[in-house]
Structure 1
Amino acid sequence: MGKGGVSSFIRHHFRHFNAAALVDAAQAYRDLLDDNGFMFLAMAGAMSTAELGLSLAEMIRRDKVHAICCTGANLEEDIFNLVAHNHYIRVPNYRELSPQDEKKLLERKLNRVTDTCIPEEEAIKRIEKVVLDLWVEADQKGERCFPHEFFYRMLRSGTLRNHYEIDEKESWMLAASERNLAIFVPGWEDSTLGNIYASHCMRGHIQNVHTVKTGMEYMMHLAKWYQEVSKGHPIGFFQIGGGIAGDFPISVVPVLRQELKQNVPLWSYFCQISDSTTSYGSYSGAVPNEKITWEKLDVATPKFIIESDATIVAPLIFAYVLDQV
């Protein structure tokens, strides 16, 4: 399909309901960028294991995503896939697995994420060996870094390059490290490597538990980033899923406006791909207008909710944004 083909196809066929919301959100994404805007991506779920890097990496390299807030799982799982892709096992009939089948996967050291199993030895342990050296080295020097900064060091060192099992263009973390993209990872301890870091602290391999900086410091870092960037650019908020990856960063605006009395602009665009519903009382299912009451969005802010599967929707929106004539 030629240049403009994807977006033309989407505009022609996606006319109603969630399909129409996708078109409107994608076009408004383009419009924000055309207005010298920056887009902030909030990414929950298992999107890295779903290989969102296939499209997200290009979005980063072509300056269509300017900062990311994600779970610790998404941060590490892109790198797991980078070095162990050929050892992953896909389980297309995962809904039919019995408890005994699951136990067999455990015995094979395969950690299942829906239809995909992450191999313990080739992915997790391989990365642990490399990043542990960085943690210990920093600890001994009295240095402190954010989780993503340690991962950037690891990727830039070239230590893993001989182990890459996918095209480098398909790793969003590699793209982010090349651009030195701003990344924010609240609750990083709720991840595999976060758990492993805690275990090394408990075993005494790392003396200062704060060698890896905390979520509170991430919020302060995000506040500084937002203050600086919003001086010259409207900033949009594109959210995949819910939970802390979205709730944490979107709150930086009321922190600045209400607590620090800084006259920063509100978010200039909002879109969420969600499968959560308002009636369940979840923050993730809250409609965008509710965010007006928290001083995150304005009345005139372009707002979209696409109630669908992010593994389908996000690549389509990214393709639409990238496929400009």
Structure 2
Amino acid sequence: DWIVSTGANLYHDMHYGLGMHLHHGSPFVSDVELRQAGVIRIYDIFFEYDVLLDTDAFVREVIAAPEFGRAMSSAEFHYRLGGYVAAREKLLSTEGHSLIAACHRAGVPVYTSSPGDSSIGMNVAAMALTGSKLVIDPNLDVNETAAIVYGAKRDGGKSGVLILGGGSPKNFVLQTEPQIQEVLGLPEKGHDYFLQITDARADTGGLSGATPSEAVSWGKIDPDQLPSAVVVYTDSTIALPLLAAYALANREARPLRRLYDRREAMLARLRDDYVAHLGTRG
């Protein structure tokens, strides 16, 4: 199990674990008045500007720790950051409210395809101005995610993708197969299972609405599995709770795979096979 999210989702997720207050409101209000009142709006979710400032301060305080003084993948960064959020949850008795903290406890790697495109990345950049050596390395992200898929397939397993929405995280999950096949030149056929929940249309040409059939042409989806691929056109906040409720009601909990703890071994395997492949070509 592994996740690719936007940095914005992970940043705003932390508000809950840090015990901050968000409110339900109407999207049909004056945003000029909200700005004057120091209120931020995300459609119908409202929170005070201080929520941003306090979350920023938390992130900067955390990444000032020595353990963040080097380059790392976004999975390692989020795992370490999630540990601090989990500790704050425990202190505030808010456990179970933050995704990034839950992933830390379960050893689930969490990647982001655009580290700089969020308030988390903005704070990392700000700290770099005063000497921080923290760098979120996209090369590690590309290779680690490919190694996860490659390892699952080489061990006789399968790879399935569940996509909520689309955009950059969608491609980052799916591009693992072209990375293995097209770039590294290793034999593979594509992901085995594809389930997407989206409200985006295919005819606009955008990635969010791209169909699994289109993904087959890129090598992202195994063509033999295309008939079982599913696209559900609805809001993710409707569909995901239904899927989660069904899974919890009909399946026993299974042992955690803790892929975070196995990242280095999986990456070494991918590296070794790629180097061996280069040797056969030379």
- Shorter-chain TM-score category? 0.7 to 0.9
Deviation readout 1:76-113 (Å, 9 max, x if unpaired) = 2211122244x21221x21x213xxx133223433211
Amino acid at match of 2:60: L
Deviation readout 1:266-292 (Å, 9 max, x if unpaired) = 211001111111121112112211111
**1:303 maps to which residue?**
229
Matched residues in 1 for 2:176 and 2:74: separation? Answer: 20
Using the TM superposition, name which of 300-309 and 110-119 deviates more: 110-119
Amino acid at match of 2:24: R
Q: Does 1:177 align with 2:104?
A: yes
> Structure 1 pair 164/246, CA: closer, same or farther in 2 (3 Å)?
farther
Count of residue pairs the alignment pairs up: 247
**1:321 maps to which residue?**
247
**Retained in 2: the 8 A contact 1:273–1:306?**
yes
Q: Tell me the CA shift for residue 156 of structure 1.
A: 2.5
**2:7 maps to which residue?**
72
**Retained in 1: the 8 A contact 2:189–2:221?**
no
- TM-score normalised by length of structure 2: 0.79
Q: Does 1:243 align with 2:167?
A: yes
**1:275 maps to which residue?**
199
Q: Tell me the CA shift for residue 230 of structure 1.
A: 2.3
Which structure has more relative contact order (CA 8 Å, sep 6+)? It is: 1
Q: Which 5+ residue runs of structure 1 have no aligned equivalent?
A: 1-65
Q: Tell me the CA shift for residue 307 of structure 1.
A: 0.5
Q: Does 1:231 align with 2:163?
A: no
Identity %: 23
**1:222 maps to which residue?**
145
> Structure 1 pair 147/219, CA: closer, same or farther in 2 (3 Å)?
closer
Deviation readout 1:147-175 (Å, 9 max, x if unpaired) = 45344334434652366474x22432222
Deviation readout 1:204-241 (Å, 9 max, x if unpaired) = 32344xx1323332111212222222223201000000
Alignment match of 1:132 (pick from 57, 60, 63): 60
- TM-score normalised by length of structure 1: 0.69
Matched residues in 2 for 1:220 and 1:138: separation? Answer: 25
Q: Which 5+ residue runs of structure 2 have no aligned equivalent?
A: 252-282
Deviation readout 1:31-60 (Å, 9 max, x if unpaired) = xxxxxxxxxxxxxxxxxxxxxxxxxxxxxx
Alignment of 1:101-140 (within 5 A): 102-121=31-50, 123-138=51-66
**Retained in 1: the 8 A contact 2:199–2:235?**
yes
